[in-house]
């Protein structure tokens, strides 16, 4: 199809809506507001140092710290504001929650309230901002509880604690060499590229499928001494390559922007692990369930891949806290299933796996 005939995001949403003849149009309007926020963030990110938006967000007494106990970058704070400003007035939302806010954001009473919840990581991979490596925004759309819609009451944290399988839609924007918007409305996964001339997202990747097998894995190996045995086993087998039990060589990548790793995996396969480990017993994983693991998990599953805690499908986990952390493994289906199998099988004895004794980078 020549570029001039590619669907815009709006046209794509209109096509998708044909499946729901009674739809009000609220959902489409919400996704377009999210996309507008992402375009605004893409512009801000593109100015970098020239826009004065790199570095930490300073408050009286030093850099500000978010509810996760992490230092906030200026762009974390700005992106959060953009998400709020673009989405609070449209009348589609009952409330929002974000990585950068301790409690749910209440839609001001002067604005109409709607039936959806928006949960987001306004800027993922923000440690990469100052070194000009790709970052992104991740979002998840849930339904608000019926009583909140009927009464228009303020939302509580409990209203957001829904398993990922109930997501109405999920997606992310990637601010890389091109800006892309990846979306699933529960009917496969579509990828859009921002046309800088028109300022419109245009459909460039209509039906994204994750290859079932891979020879590429992504994990922060500096945590290897804290990994649980099934993860050590999996990585050791990958490192052993052609001469090991997998019988093929693997390649490794680590960007430290999960959204960029997810995108690479959607495009060419692979597996990403940020597993539960023993580094900090108060943190059962690094990534957050509601606005990182669930939306990326939804996209992966919709693209024929798999997303897991290592032990169970991530989309089946019932959240217990807004900012809950969780172990996360996602990507090519066969690899994720193998990692799950390793978590359920008894660990092989060292004598059965010479790898652990001789080759392992990760000897206990």
Q: Write the CB contacts of 128 (distance below 8 Å, at least 6 apart in sequence).
A: 134, 135, 255, 256, 257
Burial class (CB in 10 A: 0-12, 13-18, 19+), 43: middle
Q: Shortest approach of Mg ion to residue 322 CB, angstroms?
A: 14
- Rounded to a whole number of angstroms, the minimum distance from the CB of residue 123 to ligand FBP is 6
What's the CA gap between 203 and 199, in Å, rounded? 13
Q: Sign of dihedral through CA atoms 96, 132, 200, 6?
A: negative
Binding residue per annotation — 24? no
Q: Which is nearer to Mg ion, 28 or 98 (CB)?
A: 98
One DSSP character per residue, 256-302 reads S-HHHHHHHHHHH--EEEE--BSS-TT-S-SEEIIIIIHHHHHHHHH
Minimum distance, C-beta of residue 41 to Mg ion, in the bound complex (Å): 12
The residue among 277 and 292 lying less far from Mg ion, judged by its C-beta, is 292
CB nearest ligand FBP: which residue?
258
Is the Cβ of residue 74 or residue 343 nearer to Mg ion in the bound state? 74
Q: Which is nearer to Mg ion, 239 or 265 (CB)?
A: 265
Is 257 annotated as a binding-site member? Answer: no
Contacted by 256, from ligand FBP, Mg ion, none: CB < 5 to 8 Å by type: ligand FBP
Q: Which residues are registered as beta bridge partners of 328?
A: 274
Contacts of 142 (CB under 8 A, 6+ apart): 116, 117, 119, 160, 162, 166, 167, 168
Under the rule (CB under 5 A), what is the footprint of Mg ion?
99, 121, 123-124
Looking at residues 98 to 137 of the shown chain, list those that interact with ligand FBP (rule: CB under 6 A): 99, 121, 124-127
Whether residue 140 is annotated as binding a ligand: the answer is no
Residues near ligand FBP, by CB under 6 A = 70, 99, 121, 124-127, 220, 256-258, 274, 286
The binding site for Mg(2+) consists of 99, 121, 123-124, 292
């Amino acid at each position: 199809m020549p570029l001039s005939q590619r669907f815009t995001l709006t046209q794509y949403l209109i096509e998708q809506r044909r499946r729901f003849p009674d739809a009000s149009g609220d959902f489409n309007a919400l996704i377009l507001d999210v996309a507008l926020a992402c375009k605004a963030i893409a512009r801000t990110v593109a100015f970098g140092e020239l826009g004065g938006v790199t570095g930490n967000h300073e408050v009286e007494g030093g850099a500000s710290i978010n509810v996760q106990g992490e230092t906030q970058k200026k762009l974390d704070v700005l992106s959060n504001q953009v998400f709020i400003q673009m989405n609070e007035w449209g009348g589609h939302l009952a409330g929002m929650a974000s990585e950068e806010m301790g409690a749910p954001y209440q839609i001001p009473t002067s604005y109409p309230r709607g039936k959806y919840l928006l949960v987001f990581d306004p800027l993922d991979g923000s440690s990469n901002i100052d070194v000009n490596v790709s970052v992104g925004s991740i979002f998840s759309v849930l339904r608000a509880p019926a009583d909140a819609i009927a009464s228009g009451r303020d939302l509580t944290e409990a209203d957001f604690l829904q398993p990922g399988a109930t997501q109405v839609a999920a997606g992310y924007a990637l601010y890389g060499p091109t800006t892309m918007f990846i979306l699933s409305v529960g009917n496969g996964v579509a990828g859009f590229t921002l046309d800088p001339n028109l300022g419109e997202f245009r459909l460039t990747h209509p039906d994204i499928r994750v290859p079932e097998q891979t020879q590429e894995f992504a994990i922060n190996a500096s945590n290897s001494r804290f990994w649980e045995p099934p993860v050590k086993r999996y990585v050791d087998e990958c490192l052993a390559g052609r001469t090991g039990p997998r019988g093929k060589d693997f390649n490794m990548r680590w960007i430290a922007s999960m959204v960029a790793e997810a995108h690479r995996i959607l495009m060419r396969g692979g597996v990403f692990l940020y597993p539960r480990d023993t580094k900090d017993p108060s943190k059962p994983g690094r990534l957050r369930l509601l606005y990182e693991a669930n939306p990326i998990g939804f996209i992966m599953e919709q693209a024929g891949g798999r997303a897991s805690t290592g032990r169970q499908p991530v989309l089946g986990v019932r959240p217990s806290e807004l900012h809950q952390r969780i172990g996360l493994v996602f990507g090519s289906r066969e690899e994720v299933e193998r990692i799950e199998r390793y978590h359920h099988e008894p660990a092989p004895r060292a004598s059965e796996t010479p790898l652990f004794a001789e080759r392992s980078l990760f000897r206990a």
